[in-house]
């Protein structure tokens, strides 16, 4: 487990803690069942973010990662409306996977400039053809874009898969390429019961901590975007 140092006063103005994923379908997770079955070998293979993670058995990850409009259509509409994005806004998805979210942005905002980056060659190779020209393989620690390139940068359950120092660098990069609007979600907890559930559920994350420690970390690296937490239920 990686925990941010408890430091002094914040050095940057934080964004909002806001749940912009509240329209994403949710289900009760079999936390205890998976905890009893997942091994370090499952985690090692999952962290390769290859076929097993996306389309292999459930213990390695998604257990089959397929497009369905019910997952992202209402969520991308939520992003557009919350940030009041222009029809021709530039949007970056850090951790774009097979491009499902960007596909729905394309359907909602045909004039938008879209970009996605993901560490997985497998995800890129199996991405939706509608957005594949806008995707590339790469790491969040070195985003291949100029400063202030995007009206909105989104990263859902991605940067916490990096070790702490690389996670910090990814946050700095998101801040660098954003024009002031960004939204991320990361593994976290508010109390001991939530921490225990998260520790049972974690498969790929390498950086996870109490929500207050995340906020201190955001301030430390100068991340000023919005944020919310993944806390398994």
Domain harbouring 169, CATH code = 3.40.50.150
Residues 171 and 189: their CA atoms lie apart, in Å, by 19
Whether 26 maps to a domain, the answer reads no
Count the domains in the chain.
Answer: 1
Give the rounded percent of residues in the chain with a pLDDT score beyond 70: 95
pLDDT of residue 8: 36
Asked if residue 153 has pLDDT above 90, the reply is yes
Whether 168 maps to a domain, the answer reads yes
Whether 4 maps to a domain, the answer reads no
Radius of gyration of the chain (CA): 17
Whether 19 maps to a domain, the answer reads no
CA 7 to chain centre: 25
Task: Give the range of the structural domain holding residue 114, as residue numbers without chain letter.
Answer: 31-230
Q: Spell out a b/e string for 199-228, using b for 16 or more CB atoms within 10 Å of the CB, else e.
A: ebbbbbbbbbbbbebbbbbbbbbebbbbbb
Angle separating helix axes 164-177 and 211-221, nearest 10 degrees? 60
Whether 201 maps to a domain, the answer reads yes
Average of per-residue pLDDT across 101-115: 98
Whether 18 maps to a domain, the answer reads no
Asked if residue 117 has pLDDT above 70, the reply is yes
Residues 16 and 225: their CA atoms lie apart, in Å, by 7
Q: Which residue has the higher pLDDT, 7 or 202?
A: 202
Give the rounded percent of residues in the chain with a pLDDT score beyond 90: 90
pLDDT of residue 12: 54
CA 213 to chain centre: 18
Asked if residue 11 has pLDDT above 60, the reply is no
pLDDT of residue 6: 34
pLDDT of residue 58: 94
At 13, is the secondary structure helix, strand, or coil? coil
Whether 9 maps to a domain, the answer reads no
pLDDT tens for residues 20-54? 999 999 878 899 999 999 999 999 999 999 999 99
Residues 156 and 68: their CA atoms lie apart, in Å, by 17
pLDDT of residue 51: 98
Q: Are 116 and 158 in contact (CB under 8 A)?
A: no
Residues 197 and 171: their CA atoms lie apart, in Å, by 25
Whether 12 maps to a domain, the answer reads no
**pTM of structure:** 0.92
Instruction: Locate 185 and state its tokens.
Output: 């979600």
Instruction: Locate 119 and state its tokens.
Output: 């560490």
Asked if residue 9 has pLDDT above 50, the reply is no
């Amino acid at each position: 487990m990686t925990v941010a140092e408890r430091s002094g006063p914040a050095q940057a103005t934080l964004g909002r803690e806001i749940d912009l994923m509240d329209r994403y379908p949710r289900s009760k997770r079999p936390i205890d069942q998976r905890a009893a079955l997942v091994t370090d070998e499952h985690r090692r293979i999952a962290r390769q973010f290859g076929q097993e993670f996306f389309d292999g058995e459930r213990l390695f990850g998604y257990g089959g990662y397929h497009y369905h409009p019910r997952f992202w259509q209402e969520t991308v509409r939520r992003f557009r409306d919350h940030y009041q994005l222009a029809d021709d806004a530039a949007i970056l998805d850090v951790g774009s996977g097979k491009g499902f979210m960007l596909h729905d942005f394309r359907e909602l905002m045909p004039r938008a400039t879209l970009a996605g980056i993901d560490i997985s060659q497998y995800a890129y190779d199996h991405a939706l053809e509608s957005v594949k020209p806008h995707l590339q393989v790469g790491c969040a620690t070195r985003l291949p874009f100029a400063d202030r390139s995007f009206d909105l940068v989104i990263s859902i359950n991605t940067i916490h898969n990096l070790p702490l120092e690389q996670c910090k660098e990814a946050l700095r990069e998101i801040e660098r390429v954003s024009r002031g609007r960004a939204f991320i979600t990361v593994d976290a907890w508010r109390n001991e019961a939530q921490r225990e559930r998260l520790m049972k559920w974690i498969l790929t994350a390498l950086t996870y901590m109490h929500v207050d420690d995340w906020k201190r970390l955001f301030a430390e690296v100068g991340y000023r975007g919005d944020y919310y937490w993944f806390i398994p239920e």
